[in-house]
A = this chain, B = another copy of it.
Amino acid sequence: MVFSSALIENAVNEFAKLPGIGKKTALRLVLHLLKQEPAQVEIFGDAMTRMRRQIKFCKHCHNVSDDEVCTICNAASRNNGVVCVVESIRDVMAIENTQQFHGVYHVLGGIISPIDGVGPDQLNIHSLVERVKAQQITEVIMALSPTIEGDTTIYYLSKKLKETPVKITTIARGIAFGGELEYADEMTLARSLTNRLPLENYLQQGK
């Protein structure tokens, strides 16, 4: 692509480094910014720089936070005895969006995956074990993806936590709402049959 301005070319190249954004989209975004007021563009640039410079990671749960301890760990209304173990910050957001979970989180920062060179030491596993040992934690919910890596991580964590009296649970696997039976894979369908629920439970959850 030929640019008549080095400033534009530079901005386009920076945008194109973002995932899923090619040169053409980058150019469209830059030309959009070009139409905005300089002050507005400054706010945009500042928001990114400030976010990266000032963001902290909660010392308890490793979630992103504006302070030492995140708003979730700090909230008096949350049950500190129930810890939901997730892979990433995005999973925290996904669960928070459901507004159904009132415990706290523990962000592993990844998942055990030897192929990608991610072992237990690169993850926030030690701090989870320490947390369970030191605090009054009654339940650890494993909310990891139902993949081989996810199951490996669950298995590893459960062995690490075996010495503690904590109850370990996993989120339910089954047919998603809106999902059609015939398109479900056999394993999910088999599991959802094994873990079938009494009708009262189902109706109650629908409320």
Contacts and interface: CB of A to CB of B under 8 A. Distances in A.
Given A28-B20, A32-B19, A48 B11 contact: yes
A44 B34 contact: no
Contacts of A45: 44-49
A65 interface: yes
Interface residues of A, number: 58
B52 A96 contact: no
B64 A5 contact: yes
B66 A31 contact: no
B1 A54 contact: no
A38 B14 contact: no
B32 A18 contact: yes
A38 B66 contact: no
Nearest to A7: B51
Interface string A24-55: 01011111111010100111111111111111
Interface stretch (A87-95, A142-150, A157-165, A176-184): A87-95
A93 B43 contact: no
Contacts of A51: 7-8, 10-11, 30, 33-34, 41
A109 to B, nearest CB: 11
B33 A52 contact: yes
Contacts of A3: 93
**A-B pairs with the 3 shortest C-beta distances?**
A45-B45, A41-B52, A45-B49
